[in-house]
Amino acid sequence: MSRKRLLIVDNSLHPILFRPWRSWKRFVGDVQYDVANLPSGQPVPEIERYTHLLLTGSEGSIVEPKPWFDVEAALIRKAADAGLPILGSCFGHQMLAYALSGPATVRRTPAPEVGWVTLRVTQRDELFVDAPDEWPAFAYHFDEVFDLPEPWHVYAHTDRCAVQIMRFGDQPIWGIQAHPEMSQKKAQAVTRIYLLLRGKAGRRVITALRRPSLDETPIRSVVRRFLTLDPTYPVADSADR
């Protein structure tokens, strides 16, 4: 197998202000990567050049479709057909369900999550084998995945969100609703922005600002295992192009 090359799809609507790919960059080690911001209309990279695909969060709402949604959904389906390992976080997690099972699998959440939540792992597979049973992570979402059809499997939930970790059958395709990639500093900055925009602070948000530093060991393990996977179908030696 050729060396790994990761495509990070940056779903930020304001990439000068919000750069979610940078949070993931901390965990990819020496794996080569490229970043493509699809909301801005950047050209869609040739997926044949890559061995892995990562989908970031976004300020956008999955229930308010934009033309670039179809572009990203087509890229996801092409990557899935090629057997590439795919990992999505928050909006990227929702986009996986949207692309592979349709818009009926996403909705406005009746209980938004802002701040630190506890992921309760109910099943394990190769990616989350080292994750603890209860995994604290930062969350910031007003939409969610729900009522997933086969072949999706749900691996974790929180008190307010039933689908926190999911996998598409036995394919190497996973979604995480939370933002375990965010550092304490970044998460607190996002929380402060939320306070400025919303104008009042609930107890959950104040708690988030006071939360001590979190252990990044679980997400480091997840990303490491993700990047060691090979595509499940033969791929041309294109990562060296």
Q: Phi and psi at residue 145, in whole multiples of 5°?
A: -90, 140
d(CA 131, CA 123): 10
**Is 216 a known active-site residue?**
no
Instruction: Give the Cβ contact number of residue 191 at 10 Å.
Output: 23
DSSP 187: H
d(CA 41, CA 210): 38
Q: List the catalytic residue out of 52, 93, 141, 179.
A: 179
Q: List the catalytic residue out of 72, 90, 93, 141.
A: 90
**Is 181 a known active-site residue?**
yes
Q: List the catalytic residue out of 72, 113, 144, 181.
A: 181
State both tokens at 17. 């202000």
**Is 126 a known active-site residue?**
no
Q: Where are the beta strands (DSSP E) in the chain?
A: 5-10, 32-37, 52-55, 86-89, 106-121, 134-145, 152-157, 165-168, 173-176
d(CA 41, CA 206): 37
Catalytic residue numbers, as ranges: 90, 179, 181
